[in-house]
Amino acid sequence: MTTPPPGRRPLLDPDRPGRPQPVPEPLLTTLADGRRIVVRQAGTGVPVVLLHGFPLDHTMWDGQWELVAAGGALDGSARLIAPDLAGFGGSDGPTSSSIAGMADEVVAILDALGCHEPVVACGLSMGGYVVQHLAARHPDRLRGIVLVDTKLEADTPAARAGRVDLSERVGRWGARIAAEALAPRLLAPRLLVFGSGRSALETRLRETIQQTAVATIRTALAALGDRPDMTAAATGFVLPTLLVVGAEDGITPPECLERAAAVIRHAELEIVAGCGHMTPMEDPPAFNARLASFLRERVVTAPPTRPRGAP
Ligand code: MLT
């Protein structure tokens, strides 16, 4: 069952006051275990579930709704579904304690929404790890995968130690510490980004991280540090696959996705110039165009159900 949750975030574009973005209203859906999950969805056609990175929420996909708005590139051919994973954004915790558990949670969210047909799973970074586990654990629920600014490999010992250290500091001083440590690293370096867009994006990311519960950050850091190497599993993926990475991504650099492209059959790779770790937010037109062409050419076979731009 879905109901509107208490509002948390204005739906107006702060850079264009008074001009509403085509962002749908959020809904609450309840999982079989009682956790209430915030989800936005819009459009009709092939379901595409959008999974956010760490420690963010579904609003990182605000630039993708125009794809399914009237006249958009996927108008009438895709239904976008963007949840907040448990404990993140406005969703109830507890946060799943492993990436595999998060993948099972996504299936539970789709079930709660009554979406039983195979979906395209698209995830950024942590969301991309979840997509890999979906492909390994629930291939029957998928018809395509999109891995964005992510990687197949497990953490190095140094990266794992860094997560333990960050978790301890967040436990002592709060989510602010995670915002300070992570927000500046998520975007392409300042020198590459012109105008005020970068600082507005960084502020937005910082606010989202600061609003995340300490327990969620700490549980997710442990899950991220414990995640297995998925390289061997990925050699068995047979779904249409799109890999996207920002050319300036300093967290999961293009080499990570180049290695993934070498092992995943049917994978195509797009390196987006000028973007860091948050490609869908940093350059929505470039990301959207690539996602739309992948879906149209390799996933969507049925023609649009209504003419472009029709009400
Ligand atoms: C993310 O953006 O989800 C994180 O960078 C993932 C990670 O820390 O491995």
String of DSSP letters for 241-301: EEEEEETT-SSS-HHHHHHHHHHSTTEEEEEETT--S-HHHH-HHHHHHHHHHHIIIII--
Round to whole Å and give the CA distance between 72 and 209: 30
How many angstroms separate the alpha carbon of residue 103 from the centre of ligand 1?
Answer: 16
Digit-coded pLDDT (tens) for 44-63: 999 999 999 999 999 999 99
Digit-coded pLDDT (tens) for 264-298: 998 999 999 999 999 999 999 999 999 999 999 99
Q: Is the pLDDT of residue 5 over 90?
A: no
Q: Which residues pair with 39 in a beta bridge?
A: 27, 83
Digit-coded pLDDT (tens) for 249-262: 999 999 999 999 99
Digit-coded pLDDT (tens) for 148-184: 999 999 999 999 999 999 999 999 999 999 999 999 9
E-assigned strand segments in 94-240: 119-124, 142-148
Please name the residues in contact with 155: beta carbons below 8 A apart, sequence gap of 6 or more: 163, 224, 225, 227
How many angstroms separate the alpha carbon of residue 2 from the centre of ligand 1?
Answer: 29
CB 292 within 8 A of CB 73: yes
Query: What backbone phi and psi angles, to 5 degrees, belong to 114?
Result: 75, 20
**CA-155 nearest atom, ligand 1:** 9
- Per-residue pLDDT band for 20 (boundaries 50, 70, 90) equals very low
Please name the residues in contact with 274: beta carbons below 8 A apart, sequence gap of 6 or more: 188, 192, 193, 246, 247, 248, 282, 283
* Single-letter amino acid code for the residue at 270: E
**CA-127 nearest atom, ligand 1:** 3
How many angstroms separate the alpha carbon of residue 255 from the centre of ligand 1?
Answer: 16
For helices 99-112 and 214-226, the axis angle rounded to 10 degrees is 120
Percent of the chain clearing pLDDT 90 (strictly above): 84
CB 149 within 8 A of CB 245: yes
Domains of the chain: 21-154+228-299 (3.40.50.1820)
Closest Cα to atom 7, ligand 1: which residue?
Answer: 126
Q: Is the pLDDT of residue 222 over 80?
A: yes
Pocket test for ligand 1, best of 61, 125, 201, 219 (most atoms within 8 A of CB): 125
